[in-house]
Structure 1
Amino acid sequence: MKRLLLAIALLSPALAIAAPLQPLAAADVPALLRPPARGERIIALWALDCAYCEPNLEALARLQRAHPDDIELVIVATDSIEQRKTIEAHLHDMKMDVYPTRAYAEASPERINFLLDPGWGGETPRVMVIHADGSRLGISGALTPDQLQKLR
Structure 2
Amino acid sequence: MNKKWIWALLVCLVSLPVYADGFQVFQSGSRQAIEQRHAGKAMIMAFWSLDCTYCADDLAALGEVVRQHPAVRFVIVNTDQDHAAEAAVFLDRLKLPVHERWQFGQVDVERLRYNIDRHWYGELPRTYFYNQRREVQIVSGKPDAAWLKRWTMSLQ
Q: Give the counterpart of 1:59 among 37, 54, 61.
A: 61
- TM-score, normalising length: structure 2: 0.76
The aligned runs of 1:83-122 (5 Å cut-off) are 83-96=83-96, 98-122=98-122
Deviations 1:71-95 (A, max 9, x none): 1010001111x31111111111222
Q: Name the CA distance, whole Å, in 2 between partners of 1:117 and 1:137.
A: 12
Matched, 1:76 2:91: no
RMSD: 1.9
Instruction: Calculate percent identity across the aligned residue pairs.
Output: 27
Deviation >2 Å, runs of 4+: 33-39
Q: Between Structure 1 and Structure 2, which shows a larger proportion of strand residues?
A: 1
Describe the SS at the equivalent of 2:106.
Answer: coil
Contact 1:52–1:142 (CA under 8 A) maintained in structure 2: yes
After TM superposition, give the deviation of residue 132 of structure 1 in Å: 2.4
Contact 2:27–2:104 (CA under 8 A) maintained in structure 1: yes
- TM-score, normalising length: structure 1: 0.78
After the TM superposition, which of the residue ranges 34-43 and 23-32 deviates more from structure 2? 34-43
Describe the SS at the equivalent of 1:26.
Answer: coil
Q: CA 1:151–1:111 in 2, change beyond 3 Å: closer, same or farther?
A: farther
Describe the SS at the equivalent of 1:149.
Answer: helix
The number of residue pairs the alignment matches comes to 132
Q: Name the CA distance, whole Å, in 2 between partners of 1:117 and 1:27.
A: 11
Cross-structure match for 2:27? 25
Contact 2:67–2:97 (CA under 8 A) maintained in structure 1: no
Amino acid at match of 1:21: F
Q: Name the CA distance, whole Å, in 1 between partners of 2:80 and 2:97.
A: 16
Q: Which runs of 5+ in 2 are unaligned?
A: 1-20
Q: CA 1:40–1:97 in 2, change beyond 3 Å: closer, same or farther?
A: closer
